Structure formats: structure tokens, C-alpha cells
Amino acid sequence: MDIARLKQLAGVNEFKGYKEYVPENPSITASALRKKEKDLGLKPGDPEWFKLWFSRPFMTGNLGFRGRQK
């Protein structure tokens, strides 16, 4: 293993400038999730509730919450 590969793995690299800060407002997202939760009739602690609040679509590839199955 050479020094360049070790630097890459360690995250040691040349400074390329600051990235633009994009402010995010978590209350907007939380309000939208709360409204969806209320519309679907989910209760905190239900498996569907956890899927709604803790899913990460950018990681799982889910297109959205599919609803409660009865």
C-alpha cells in the first residue's frame, strides 16, 4: 500500500474551499411527517410509524410510505 492510498483512506487531502451552507428547517419536515401520520391514523410505536419517521429514502430507494395493511 502506498502513501497516496493511505492518505485517501484516512481522508487527508488538499483543501478545496468551503462548501456553501444550505440551511435546513427540520420543523417543516417534521410538520409534514406529523400531518401524514395523522392522515394515515398511525400511532407512535407502530411498525408503520417507525417506517414513516425513520426511513431514509435516499439510502433505501423507497419511493414513499405505502400505507397501513390490514
Render each residue's pLDDT in the chain as its tens digit; 70 residues.
889 888 888 888 777 788 787 777 778 888 888 999 999 999 998 888 888 888 766 555 555 556 666 6
The whole model's pTM is what? 0.46
Taken in order 66, 49, 27, 24, the sign of the CA dihedral is negative
Backbone angles phi, psi at 28, to 5 degrees: -65, -45
